[in-house]
Structure 1
Amino acid sequence: MTDRPVVLITGASAGLGEEMARQFAALGYDLALCARRIDRLQELRAALPEVRVIVKELDVTDDDAVFTVFQEFAAEFGRIDRVVVNAGLGKGAPLGTGRFDANRATAMVNFVGALAQTEAALQIFRAQGRGHLVLISSMSALRGMRKSMTTYAATKAGVAAIAEGVRSERIPGIDVSVIYPGYIRSEMNSRVSQKTKFMVNTEFGVRKMVAAIEKRKVKAYVPAWPWLPIGLAMKVLPLSAVRKMV
């Protein structure tokens, strides 16, 4: 069993997941990393020689594989201290425009996949008697979003609801956090204009995410400025005003 704490991160081959892996390694964590692109994970492992890193290929829509991979990580490390449910997909199209395939794919990865990851993580944590479950949601989860964002926002609202439901169960020894990132540059939004208002670079945005996770915050809008006041406003303003904000 490792002496260092162990964090398991899904979707770790790029974007926010990859940067979280780098930043948790800098904090002294051993890493259990999984994603569909095993070659990218192997490159990341080679770049982090100061900690123990185990990588595994995983498609989070393969339910059986999620449980198998999580249990393999737990067996190889001897424990898992934290699981970050991060794997996500940003496909989408306005409903009724003939792209159900894209919206279904997003729903399967972002919600059903997150459900499987949560189940697998909690099996491990219940057996250990402790653990920290972290679910990555989105600021778009706070209200219904239009056009290509409709399904994505709905899935992220579902992720936040999973976190709140588990937290309300008050499972002894288990902490639950939900993180609502604002506009943080990542592979998923690489096609979005560089001039998007409030967009921050990956390293800075993830540093704020990791800080909130380390504090085991119940929920965090990150970066807090401007997303904390925007989040509070989004909950109460009419949709006509929300459309102009995000």
Structure 2
Amino acid sequence: MQTFNGKTALITGASSGIGEQMARQLAAGGCHLILVARRTDRLDALASELGAVTVDVITADLADPLAADDVFERTQALGRQVDILINNAGFGFQKPLLSLPMTDQLGMVDVNVRSLLALTQRFVAPMVQRGQGWVLNVSSVSAWFPIPGMATYAASKAAVLHLSRALHEELKPFGIIVSVLCPGGTRTEFSSLAREKMDPDLEKAMMPADRVAAAGLQGLASGKAVVVPGVLYKLMVAVTRVLPGAWVARLAGSVMGRHH
């Protein structure tokens, strides 16, 4: 990851899963880090392992409407220039709309979309002034599928996909690269939290978090607009282009949205 050697990356959701793996891989390539998540103990433990580079830790709950501004102001107070923004934080539930409290529905939108948008606007503005920067937003292969049983989550990730693709073109003239990583099933805490019981077929198709993280970082370094790791998930996305929309929704519900 020589592209990012000597740069500084801010990673949200850095305490586990894809975010943690990205932190490790960037640090191995000489990239300094600002790690953001809710769990200070996890962040501190990770930071202590990455001593070869400068690592700062910011504890924040991105469901809080004020969190994005707070994170930005704290990086300013640290005197750190953020060259790479990785919006990785996110969560979801595999439950029908009426089985999930409204606070949980809106929490998904707050973390997955609103905080991502707010952080992007905050950190991209200085990048534009400098004429260089990178943004990696973590969406999901779910972004292509309206998923009965995971409707809000899939919709939130579709918003991330479309926002990122638009910003890839909008910010290119200013020297900013925006990529969106769209993983399928990945072995992380997210998967166990999202589903009360893991479907055996889905579990078999899951990719290791380090491979997904590497694909995202390589895609960002090479300026790709959209990164979908894994042949299976590339095929799934291709299917949505040829099947009628109603079929796609029913298929997604039967495969990914099982909730009984």
Relative to the length of structure 2, the TM-score reads: 0.85
- Residue 77 of structure 1: how far off its partner (Å): 5.2
Q: Is the 8 A contact 1:45 1:53 kept in 2?
A: yes
1:64-143 correspondence to structure 2 within 5 Å:
64-74=66-76, 76=78, 78-91=80-93, 93-97=95-99, 99-143=101-145
Q: Distance in 2 between matches of 1:242 and 1:145?
A: 5
User: Are residues 100 and 62 of structure 1, via their aligned partners in 2, closer, same or farther at CA, if it must alter by over 3 Å?
Assistant: closer
Question: Which residue among 226, 229, 236 is the counterpart of 1:219?
Answer: 226
- Residue 56 of structure 1: how far off its partner (Å): 0.7
Q: Is the 8 A contact 1:79 1:128 kept in 2?
A: no
Q: Distance in 2 between matches of 1:74 and 1:155?
A: 29
Alignment-mate amino acid for residue 151 of structure 2: T
Pairing 1:204–2:225 present: no
User: Larger deviation: 72-81 or 161-170?
Assistant: 72-81
Q: Distance in 2 between matches of 1:244 and 1:96?
A: 18
Match of 1:159 in 2: 160
- 1:236 is paired with a residue of what secondary structure? coil
Alignment-mate amino acid for residue 240 of structure 2: M
Q: Give aligned-pair identity as a percent.
A: 32
Question: Which residue among 31, 34, 58 is the counterpart of 1:32?
Answer: 34
Q: Distance in 1 between matches of 2:100 and 2:112?
A: 20
Question: Which residue among 49, 52, 57 is the counterpart of 2:51?
Answer: 49
- Residue 222 of structure 1: how far off its partner (Å): 1.1
Q: Distance in 1 between matches of 2:100 and 2:24?
A: 39
> How many residues end up aligned between the 2 structures?
242
- Structure 2 residue runs of 5 or longer lacking an equivalent are none
Alignment-mate amino acid for residue 201 of structure 1: P
Q: Distance in 2 between matches of 1:66 and 1:87?
A: 12
Q: Which has the higher contact order (CA 8 A, sep 6+)?
A: 2
- Residue 242 of structure 1: how far off its partner (Å): 4.2
Match of 2:147 in 1: 145
Relative to the length of structure 1, the TM-score reads: 0.89
- Hey, which bits of structure 1, 4+ residues long, moved more than 6 A? none
Match of 2:169 in 1: 168
